[in-house]
Amino acid sequence: MTAITCAFTGHRPKSFPWKYNESAPDCVLLKEILAAKIEVLVNQGVTDFLSGMALGADLWCSQIVLDLKKKKPALKLHCVLPCKGQESKWTASAQEHYYSILAQANEVVYVRQEYSRDCMLERNRWMVDRASILLAVYNGTYRSGTGMTVRYAQKLGREIIIIDPVLRSITHSPQVTK
């Protein structure tokens, strides 16, 4: 991809204090901060966004990109799925939202056809390998998929923007050129 590309990573709802309650004031504020940050990235020239389409931050960021795409049709959303059936155990409403996003995406990529123990890790690395920026909703938990993704992006010298989901503070590590 020659376009400026940003990948998303973040925790699942069970890791947030508000759990699955997206109308909780703290969740609403976090989504507003995400929308503002994604809009800044678009204004800085980011055109392509990679989402792993997991519950929580991934789906929120994907929806924000789709909403921005209405005003800026040049934006592209690439849904990078770890395997077929990722959503099979989700609630009906979560599945409906997931399918709606997939239907509006510019591209849907399956890293694996079937589930394997490391397909989520493979998906995350696939995205970081193809992105120049990683936007992470990350609470600092070391033993998490989000933590592993952030560390992988650091190892590759990617630009990393971390939004703490509770404090809503933003830290920014510029891209490291090797």
Place of tokens 């934006």: 75
Q: Which of 27, 56, 41, 17 is nearest to 172 (CA)?
A: 41
Q: Which of 102, 82, 105, 84 is nearest to 94 (CA)?
A: 102
User: What pLDDT is attached to residue 177?
Assistant: 67
Give the Cα separation of 77 and 63 in Å (integer).
10
**pLDDT, the chain, mean:** 95
Residue type, 135: L
Task: Tell me the pLDDT tens digit for each residue of 26-83.
Answer: 999 999 999 999 999 999 999 999 999 999 999 999 999 999 999 999 999 999 999 9
DSSP state letters, 55-97: TTHHHHHHHHHHHHHTT-TT-EEEEEESSTTTTTTS-HHHHHH
Task: Tell me the pLDDT tens digit for each residue of 112-164.
Answer: 999 999 999 999 999 999 999 999 999 998 889 999 999 999 999 999 999 99
